[in-house]
Structure 1
Amino acid sequence: MEAQEIFLKENLRFLRERRKMTQQALAEDLGFSRVKLNAIESGKTANPVLEDVVGIAKYFKLAADTLLTVKLSKLGELKLRELESGSDVYLTGKNIRVLAITVAPDQKENVEYIPVKAKAGYRAGFADPQYLAELPKFNIPNLPSGTFRMFPTIGDSMLPVPEESQILARYVQDWKSLKPDTLCIVILKADQDFVFKQVTIQQDGLRLHSMNRLYEDYVVAFSDVLEIWEYYSFHSRQLPEALSDLAVVIREIRKLEERMVLNL
């Protein structure tokens, strides 16, 4: 297993210079001596005290994992601003990740497309700017704010959305903000696939629901989830199938049941 590359010294200098601070000024804010800060920033302190690393991370509103393992100078300006606003905590703080992006010459974020053949590599490269740079990318006018990507779907579990549709989705920064049964692309770890489901956040994980009633709900643990992308639109050469007479009847029965419950 390859050793994890550590970027503490590069990140510390990058963050300090980004704020246009001297070593003396930052050292005073952190409660360090300038000599200690310089030793960490120059790499002379090979193994900084854990409390010092945590203190630096808290000062810059970052997760310690991000400060150590993500080369911040490679991230886009929008992502850096999000981090600086204190947005580097996902859900309960146990699932920490920084999303790399690519930008067009006009500094607008690209929409990256993740083809089927790139799925396996995506799990390892979702935070790697070099990996993302090699993906197909495009721009769509009039998208709302946020980071968007397009993912392919396989199978019929989300009918009436046609099989093999391309799902355009927006990155979910805070999983707790999702309303029950929100349509999402969920990126799972290990040998699991990308899934397109209705997502509900529960105490024990994510409940995943298929619109096709032939498929049962199931729950995945938070620890198995890398990313969640909220559905925005789908693109397909196929038209959704019209509702059958039976489906229309079932829909009307459900509406009637809902009205009866409200009137109880």
Structure 2
Amino acid sequence: MANISSNIKFLRKKKGLTQQQFADSLDIKRSLVGAYEENRAEPKYELLKKIAIFFDLSVDDFINETIDDKWAPKPKGNPANLRVLSISVDKDDNENIELVPMKASAGYMNGYADPEYVARLPKFNLPMFTGGTFRAFEIKGDSMLPLPSGSIIIGEYVENWADVKPAETYVVVSKNDGVVYKRVGNKFKDQKKLKLMSDNPVYDPYEVSGEDILELWKAKAYISTQLPQPVPEPTMESLTTMMMEMQRSISKINQGNN
């Protein structure tokens, strides 16, 4: 992206560093610095974080802002600060649903705010989704079982993070964790962090700060190639086991009441 190349060049020169000195500071080759500044290549997300830290900037500002002598950083840590969302439209000027495949999730961290990048994503339309901005994300792993890995979550863009509702599921795009699909445990107005929970109890809840979050998408539907399996008919053995478990439970209740 043009912002990244021009920002690297401007900030490097402002610090009075040659390309070689800058490359040595980041432990990369000088030729890479030249490629980044000439917009012939883009740094991977881990290196972007390293560069942003080197220049004492947020990754968000470093990617999305045109940094020059007139630029001033925005106040940090305010989830109410809204950004312009990049979208694509079809020939009739209707918004598309862009798909972020699993293999593209890392690239989405660099290009989520770049209209050209978003326009290159696979896209489709569904008649039941109108009146909002929607995006589809392919999820990986078993943290949200019973939704299987490889499911596609269709989310509606959350413009005002104060509208986030506890116990509902969202696609959370953050600087440190990338794209994740989780259930939310609290409201933003209560604190500056979101508690994210997996439906699979094997995984512990964790918190992500408002400063770390790039986008929030409220889950509206999912698409999966794994169809539901029929419920097996009860057997005599399973019925017997069920009755024994019920008897044990009743026995424990009776013992507790004595």
TM-score (norm 1): 0.56
The match for 2:83 among 93, 97, 119 is: 97
1:219 aligned onto 2:179 = no
Identify if the C-alpha distance between structure 1 residues 241 and 97 changes in structure 2 by more than 3 Å, giving closer, same or farther: farther
Q: Which runs of 5+ in 1 are unaligned?
A: 6-64, 71-90, 250-264
For the residue of structure 1 that corresponds to 2:137, the secondary structure is strand
Q: Distance in 1 between matches of 2:161 and 2:230?
A: 33
Matches within 5 A, 1:87-126: 92=78, 95-126=81-112
Alignment match, 2:182: 197
Query: How far did residue 142 of structure 1 move?
Result: 2.3
Q: Is contact 1:100–1:127 with CA below 8 Å preserved after alignment?
A: yes
Cα deviation 1:198-234 (Å, max 9, x = unaligned):
1133514010011111111110111111101000111
Relative to structure 1, the CA distance from residue 114 to residue 170 in structure 2 (aligned partners, 3 Å threshold; closer, same or farther) is same
| Percent of residue pairs identical | 42
Deviations 1:133-169 (A, max 9, x none): 1111111112131111110111111111122211111
1:146 to 2:132 alignment: yes
Measured in 2, the distance between the counterparts of 1:125 and 1:183 equals 24
- The question of whether the paired residues in 2 share the 8 Å contact of 1:186 and 1:195 is answered with yes
**Which of 196, 199, 203 pairs up with 1:208?**
196
Q: Distance in 1 between matches of 2:201 and 2:229?
A: 15
CA contact (8 A) 1:149 1:169 kept: yes
CA RMSD in angstroms, aligned pairs only: 3.3
Shift of 1:4: 4.0
Q: Counterpart amino acid of 2:89?
A: V
Give, in whole Å, the separation in 2 of the partners of 1:214 and 1:107: 44
Larger Rg: 2
Match of 2:145, SS state, is: coil
Corresponding residue number in structure 2 for 1:3? 6
Amino acid at match of 1:109: E
CA distance change for structure 1 residues 175 and 105 in 2, over 3 Å: closer, same or farther? same
Which residue of the partner structure matches residue 54 of structure 1? none
Distance 1:241 1:123 in 2: 36
Q: What one-letter code is carried by the residue in structure 2 that aligns with 1:208?
A: L
SS of 1:164's equivalent in the other structure is: coil
Cα distance, 1:242–1:182 mapped onto 2, change above 3 Å: farther
Contact 2:109 2:178 in 1 (8 A): no
Deviation sequence 1:35-69 (CA, Å, 0-9, x none) = xxxxxxxxxxxxxxxxxxxxxxxxxxxxxx8xx94
Q: May I ask how many residue pairs the two structures share in their alignment?
A: 168
Query: Contact (CA 8 Å) 1:162, 1:240: kept in 2 or not?
Result: no
Cα pair 2:79 2:161 within 8 Å, conserved: no
CA contact (8 A) 1:160 1:241 kept: no
Q: TM-score, normalised by structure 2?
A: 0.57
Deviations 1:51-109 (A, max 9, x none): xxxxxxxxxxxxxx8xx948xxxxxxxxxxxxxxxxxxxx9456542211111111110
2:158 alignment partner, one of 155, 172, 176 = 172
